[in-house]
A and B are shown apart, each in its own frame.
Chain A
Amino acid sequence: MLESFCTWLESTSLSATIQNTGWIIPVGQIIHILCLSIVLSSVVLLDFRIMGLAALRVPIPDMARRFLPWMWSALALMVITGSILIIGEPRRDLLNPAFWTKMLLLLTAAAITLLFQLSVRRKAHLWTGSGKGRTFIRIVAAIALTAWIGVAACGRLIAYFMVAG
């Protein structure tokens, strides 16, 4: 089914335009990786703060307000550039185990980050003191961070898991 979806996608005029305009894919990839630098740095600094390993002077809600809007904007731009790359070369991604692993990790990482953001916004008091549940929160932050790094790693490894043909 995915196979025939790729065949259809490749035959669309949008895909043809992307394939035939030489600069679109390289430029899309460059924007994608520059946005990755915003996303990854934001979540590394934020998750290390939550884990109690960095920027301890800054309250967690302040860290969230500083970095998460940048992170979501950059992530949105990654979804757009990523979609352009998929439409241009559907087989490269949609028939690729590294791509689907990346999507699974992305859902996990984004869901944890979103839940965290909602919690900080609605229950700020939980995040300012030294309150209980800290160990649990730190473990969740470590899981989110690992998932984000996995997203980046799988993204690069897509190039090595392409199905030929």
Chain B
Amino acid sequence: MSIVSFAKWLQATAPAQAISQSAWMFPAAETIHVIAIAMVVGSIAVLDLRLLGLSWTRRPITEIAGEVLPWTWSSFAVAAVAGTVMFISGASKYIVDLPFQLKFVVMFLAGINMLVFHRFTYPGIAQWNRNASPPRAAKIAAALSLIFWIGVVTCGRLVSFSIENQFAPPG
């Protein structure tokens, strides 16, 4: 089964049909998706800016991480669920859409960046938790994180330009 035929099967399932035939489900999912992704990017940016030594430098990094990361993860979960609702309603057109595919490549890179940071840089944090200017490895991870998440939002916004929105009225 190819990925395209899987996508076609997916959008023919009952839940996907229900979403694409409903007047409000897609707009509702899209609204929730936008608010959730805004919270993902904004909250992770608070930590990234601290890691870059650009803001809230008087505070220990772990304290800030403890305050913002729960928002990042819970918002990400909400964005993923709402995104899945949108995706299944028209899976076969999204799966072949370039901005959509790029969005997942960039999200994958954001994930790798995060794993590398946690595996190699974060374990030594006790030594620089209170430093206004963290080590270079942490700054690079933070800069990449900002770039990747801005990329995710950019690709996400472009998806609706490349895909004809079936729910919006003409014009």
Contacts and interface: CB of A to CB of B under 8 A. Distances in A.
Asked if A and B bind, the verdict is: yes
Given A54-B67, A66-B56, A160 B35 contact: no
A162 B157 contact: no
B: interface residue count bin: 20 to 34
B45 A41 contact: yes
Interface in B80-135: none
B133 to A, nearest CB: 18
A155 B59 CA distance: 35
Given A36-B38, A37-B38, A162 B153 contact: no
Interface stretch (A26-34, A107-115, A118-126, A131-139): A26-34
A164 B165 CA distance: 15
A27 to B, nearest CB: 9
B74 to A, nearest CB: 11
A68 interface: no
A42 B35 contact: no
A45 B158 contact: no
A122 to B, nearest CB: 23
Given A40-B39, A41-B43, A157 B71 contact: no
Interface stretch (B5-13, B26-34, B136-144): B26-34
A41 to B, nearest CB: 2
A152 B38 CA distance: 9
Contacts of A38: 42, 45
Interface string B32-66: 00110111111101100000000110010001000
Interface string A38-61: 111110110000000011011000
Contacts of B35: 40, 149, 152-153
A37 B67 contact: no
Given A149-B35, A157-B27, A37 B41 contact: yes
Contacts of A33: 34, 38, 153, 157
9 contacts: A30-B154, A33-B153, A37-B37, A37-B38, A41-B41, A45-B46, A45-B71, A152-B35, A162-B171
Given A33-B34, A58-B59, A157-B31, 10 more contacts: A26-B157, A26-B158, A34-B41, A38-B42, A41-B45, A44-B39, A58-B67, A66-B56, A155-B34, A164-B170
Interface of A: 26, 29-30, 33-34, 36-42, 44-45, 54-55, 57-58, 66, 149, 152-153, 155-157, 159-160, 162, 164-165
